[in-house]
Chains A and B, each alone.
Chain A
Amino acid sequence: MAGMSGKRLQKELAKITGVLPPGITLVSAENLREWQMDLTVPDNPIYPADHVYRLKFMFSTNYPIEAPECTFIQLSTPVRKIPIHPHIYSNGIICLDLLDKQGWSPVHNVESVCISIQSMLASNTKNERPPGDAEFVRSNRSRPRDINFLYHDPSV
């Protein structure tokens, strides 16, 4: 059915407008199919408090049965860089189980995804990219949802 995602996204948007956890803000959702959110990370010197990161969400018509595509994007004004993390490639693609087919659950939502990514950054101790980042960024032509990540290190 085509209509499920529209209604759900409208209601999600109404719910989070104005009330979001600290460090998470809604930037734009004029196009209901593509939202942008800004993120800051508390208490981690790898991500100083004045560094803001931009997340882009893309929703298919089957959302929330299907996961949203969620990536970091780079901007020059305002400055938004891709955060350094062993599960985040330098092209913004995030390797996080809840964003892929197996890990996603329709009871997740934009807010809970943002919180998961925020806490993934907050608990990170390695100031490095995933192994094989340069090769992956050069060769990858797939959309995030079509990539089958291997979660080689579930501890990170």
Chain B
Amino acid sequence: MASYQAEQLKEQGNAAFRNGEYEEANELYTQAVAKYSRNSLIYTNRANVRLKLQQWDGVVNDCSKSIEITGPNANHKAFYFLAQAQLGLHHPNEALSSALTAYEQVLHPHPAAKISPKDLEAFSTFVLKCKKAKFAARDRDRLRRQGDLRAELEGTLEAQKQRDLDEVTAQLRRGGLGNVEATELSKEIISTFDEKINSLRTTFAAADPADHKPREVPDYVIDMITFEPMHDPVITKNGHSYERATIYEHLKRSPTDPLTRDPLTINDLRPNFGLRAACEAFWDSGASEWIADW
């Protein structure tokens, strides 16, 4: 009985959601889980509405509850919503891992799973988005750390220079050095340390990929259909590779090879592991620093 009432409230929540009344929908779903807490769909639906309300923590909780009820192997929606919330919370690593789980579950669906035809493409795009966020955050961190290290080393050099100069002044005062000698020594100290600081800066600049950047994204990581970098490339009989979700989308409309027009179906495609590794290596190379436009 309680589960029936919960179902009624969930339906009302869905209607409110469709009308864009997100606060209302959130409230109705909350009443629904209070009646009956073992229906995973109520949690996923509430997660979806909380995404719209940008209540990221609420989304994370709801997705976890939903996954707890269904088990971790057949709940692509919960993982997809979870990934979006994690990205909203600036946890790109977790987001990527959730997005990949969702993507895998759409690609190899559990028999009971309801997959919408648009899911694969949407999830694939989101995986790419998480990937970009993850590597951008990593590279930003590295740059900041590098900047911190450089500032610290420069500070140390400056302090050392000051000590050496003070030492000269002290010797001059004690009469151990003449005026001319002291001036000469001070000059030498200053120029030596300036040189050190310059070569330190040159070294850091040389180690910074943003400073001698290859400007073009290599063609081999680019999907010829979307012009986006690939993350799950598949290869055709003719040896050309495409991002899986986009070639699937093309094959839905036209079962032909995009380049040769020979008959081609999903079953003819094979994952291209070598290229996939090359794409990973491309991301790993710090590319996010010099690709201006994602």
**Contacts from A to B (Cβ < 8 Å):** 1, 3-4, 7-8, 10-12, 14, 64-66, 101-102, 104-107
Contacts and interface: CB of A to CB of B under 8 A. Distances in A.
B261 interface: yes
A106 B253 CA distance: 11
Contacts of B259: 105, 107
A1 B258 contact: no
Nearest to A64: B225
B53 interface: no
Contact of B258 (A3, A101, A106): A106
A115 B121 CA distance: 30
Contacts of A10: 293
Interface of B: 118, 121-122, 125, 224-228, 246, 249-250, 253-254, 256, 258-259, 261, 293
Given A1-B121, A65-B249, A65-B250, A107 B226 contact: no
Contacts of B246: 4, 65, 106
A66 B246 CA distance: 12
Nearest to B124: A1
A14 B253 CA distance: 28
A29 B246 CA distance: 25
Contacts, number: 46
Contacts of B226: 4, 7-8, 64
A7 B249 CA distance: 16
- B226, B250, B254 pick with most chain A CB within 10 angstroms: B226
A100 B259 CA distance: 16
19 contacts: A1-B122, A4-B121, A4-B226, A4-B246, A7-B227, A7-B228, A8-B225, A14-B293, A64-B225, A65-B253, A101-B253, A102-B254, A105-B250, A105-B254, A105-B259, A105-B261, A106-B224, A106-B258, A107-B259
A115 B241 CA distance: 24
A115 B115 CA distance: 40
A104 B258 CA distance: 8
Q: Which of A12, A104, A107: most chain B Cβ within 10 A?
A: A107
B112 to A, nearest CB: 25
A106 B225 contact: yes
Contacts of B293: 10, 14
Contacts of A14: 293
B258 A105 contact: yes
Contacts of B256: 105
